[in-house]
Amino acid sequence: MREVWPVTAVRKAESTVMASLPEGTLMQRAAAGLEKVAADLLVKHFGGVYGRSVLLLTGMGDNGGDALFAGARLAGRGAAVRAVQILGSRRHEGGHKALRMAGGRFISPEDVGYHDLVLDGVTGIGGRPGLPIEAVNRLRKVRAGVTVAVDVPSGVNVDTGEAVGQAVHAEHTVTFGCLKPAHVTGPASELCGEIHLVDIGIGRALRHGDSVLSVPEESDIAEWVRRPGPADDKYTRGVAGIAAGSTRYPGAPLLAAAGAQAGPAGMIRFAGDQWRQVVSRHPSIVATPGIEEAGRVQAWLAGPGTGTGPRALKTLEHVLEAEVPTVLDADALTLVAKHSRLLAGRRAPLVLTPHDREYERLYGSPPEGDRASSALALASRLNAVVLLKGHRTIVADPDGSVYANPTGTPDLATAGSGDTLAGLLVSLLASGLGGGRAAAAAAYLHGLAGEFAARDGRPATAEDLGDALRDAVASVRTP
């Protein structure tokens, strides 16, 4: 698991470590890491460092200092390095001097044009969101072969992932010490491109309790997705139940079933009008038309394609009465938003999977720019795990832990995609995994499956996700 720390925690760790080091040590470590990534990119895209043009965008703080020292190093390797002040008039004296000594030049904002590589050192963790218009106008003149953000793309809100007004859009971001929220959540994460984390020696001073988000890694998912042991049978692996579908939405049950089939449960029960279609597509599923005769399960999924009529409400009541871990998706979210009594006094774990409009129905207002806090607010209010869908899906557990999902592709924004996610999720819950981890694992595997299904520009549909989910599970399990 990769932990994510807010600016205050980074500052605290920095001052602890700096107390025992000569001044400027951390900045030199940062500049060395930045130089390495920049040089590798110049070699990869332009065949070498020597003679290539590099532009440093600077502001008034240490973020510009990092860029200037890295630029000095690149100038020492023969790159033609220029620097331009984008924000304010105060400059980083040490970095300025180093670049001048290495043969770099300072140009006026009017003279910027195309450069092979641009290092964005306008603002870092000292940045306030929303750059002044003068800085934005200067940035507009810059044309780059490749843009590398120093620490974070300038203009974003580092602690929330919001991007206010015009922010830098980078293909790569080189960050120092640890990930910050802007790297993993909200629109800012889309402006970062590929993230390179440089170890500058502050890790030991970062306190686990100060981290605000976690990013699951492949090894976490491999550990959480239970593998059957020799003593297991279909019941001990967990029985998942799906209550889904209606004459209006006959496809949702099939897609939810396909998602569940890729998960670790040993058996799947289905209740709904499409029971025949479900069995003909998935003969191993035990299906009945009515919820009353569905039999016992370790976890229920309710909502995909059920509609919100009286029959759907009755089914949902039955599911909730079972008091087993339950996923509420799609129409079930609309129903619990309308009938708050449904969740009153509930004790068994609950996972909700809203997109933004469903979130608004449940919470009363749409998610804010700080999506992690919004997800956590709903999780606390309803005492339920909340999987808030988005480009970077967030999972918030009422116990306070928040996960930012690192996988996925815009291709997943397709009809039926959520049904497969919900199906996989109920299978993970049935296998005994806690709600937070089950939701984080489902989001991770679903995102990875989307990447697989859309590989090489393939037009991916939700129908492709069942097979792709099996590939995703296999890929995390293969060391």
Ligand X SMILES: NC(=O)C1=CN([C@@H]2O[C@H](COP(=O)(O)OP(=O)(O)OC[C@H]3O[C@@H](n4cnc5c(N)ncnc54)[C@H](OP(=O)(O)O)[C@@H]3O)[C@@H](O)[C@H]2O)[C@@H](O)CC1
Binding residues for (6S)-NADPHX: 252, 305, 355, 419
Angle at 303 between CA 300 and CA 309, to 5 degrees: 130
How many residues bind to ligand X according to rule CB under 6 A? 31
Rounded Cα–Cα distance for residues 102 and 344 (Å): 68
3-state SS, residue 86: coil
CA pair distance 235, 390, nearest whole angstrom: 34
Quote the DSSP letter at residue 344: T
Q: Report the interface residues with K ion, using CB under 5 A.
A: 120, 149-150, 154
The encoded tokens of residue 291 equal 């919820």
Q: Which does 120 bind (CB under 5 to 8 A by kind): K ion, ligand X, none?
A: K ion
Question: Is 33 one of the binding residues for ligand X (CB under 6 A)?
Answer: no
Counting Cα atoms < 13 Å in the Cβ hemisphere of 165 gives 13
87 binds, among K ion, ligand X, none (CB under 5 to 8 A by kind): ligand X
Binding residues for AMP: 389-393, 418
> Which segment (77-85, 117-125, 329-337, 388-396) binds ligand X by CB under 6 A?
117-125
Q: Whose CB is nearest to ligand X? A: 124
Q: Alpha helix (H) ranges present in 156-217?
A: 181-184, 186-191
| Minimum distance, C-beta of residue 169 to K ion, in the bound complex (Å) | 12
Assess 30 for contact with ligand X (CB under 6 A): yes
Q: How far is the CB of 15 from ligand X (least distance, A)?
A: 9
Closest-approach residue to K ion (CB): 154
H/E stretch holding 376: helix 371-382
Partner interacting with residue 176 (select from ligand X, K ion, none; CB below 5-8 Å by kind): ligand X
> Which residues does 26 contact at the CB level (< 8 Å), separation at least 6?
14, 17, 18, 176, 200, 201, 202
Residues 270 and 474 sit within 8 Å (Cβ to Cβ): no
Question: Taking the mean position of all CA atoms in its chain, how far away is CA 415?
Answer: 21
Contact status, residue 174 vs residue 149, Cβ threshold 8 Å = yes
Single out the residue of 127, 133, 5, 117 nearest to residue 62, CA to CA: 127
Q: Which of the listed partners (ligand X, K ion, none) does 24 bind, with a CB threshold of 5 to 8 Å by partner kind?
A: none
User: Does 128 sit near ligand X (CB under 6 A)?
Assistant: yes
128 interface partner picked from ligand X, K ion, none, CB below 5 to 8 A per type: ligand X
149 touches ligand X (CB under 6 A): no
Q: Which of 84, 119, 131, 192 binds ligand X (CB under 6 A)?
A: 131
The token pair at 341 is 């009594």
Q: Extract the annotated binding site.
A: 252, 305, 355, 389-393, 418-419
Shortest CB 133 distance to ligand X, Å: 10
**Cα–Cα distance measured from residue 124 to residue 107, given in angstroms and rounded to the nearest whole number:** 22
185 is written with which tokens? 């959540």
Closest to ligand X by CB, 39 vs 68, is 68
CA distances from 127 to 86, 121, 396 (A): 13, 11, 27
Cα 279 vs. chain centroid, distance in angstroms? 35
- Report DSSP letters for 10-65, one per residue: HHHHHHHHHTTS-TTHHHHHHHHHHHHHHHHHHHHHHS-STT-EEEEEE-SSHHHH
Eight-class DSSP state of 267: E
Find all residues with CB under 8 Å of 381, minimum gap 6, and list them.
Answer: 363
Report which of 273, 323, 331 is spatially closest to residue 296, judged by C-alpha positions: 323
Stretch that binds ligand X, among 127-135, 212-220, 360-368, 413-421 (CB under 6 A): 127-135
Choices 61-69, 105-113, 255-263, 409-417; region in contact with ligand X by CB under 6 A: 61-69
Residue 62 near ligand X by CB under 6 A: yes
Least gap, CB of 85 to ligand X (angstroms): 11
- Taking the complex as a whole, how short is the minimal distance between the CB of residue 178 and ligand X, in angstroms? 9
- Restricting to residues 158-187, name those near ligand X by CB under 6 A: 176-177
Q: For residues 195-254, which are near ligand X according to CB under 6 A? A: 200, 202
Stretch that binds ligand X, among 72-80, 126-134, 338-346, 405-413 (CB under 6 A): 126-134
Tell whether residue 439 is a contact of ligand X (CB under 6 A).
Answer: no
Q: What does 422 interact with, of ligand X, K ion, none (CB < 5 to 8 A by kind)? A: none
**59 lines the binding site for ligand X (CB under 6 A):** yes
Smallest gap from Cβ 67 to ligand X, in A, equals: 8
Site string for ligand X, 5-24 (x = CB under 6 A): -----xx--x----------
Please say whether the beta carbons of 354 and 388 come within 8 A: yes
Nearer to ligand X, 26 or 278 (CB): 26
Question: Where does this chain bind ligand X (CB under 6 A)?
Answer: 10-11, 14, 26-27, 30, 59-66, 87-88, 123-128, 130-132, 150-151, 176-177, 200, 202
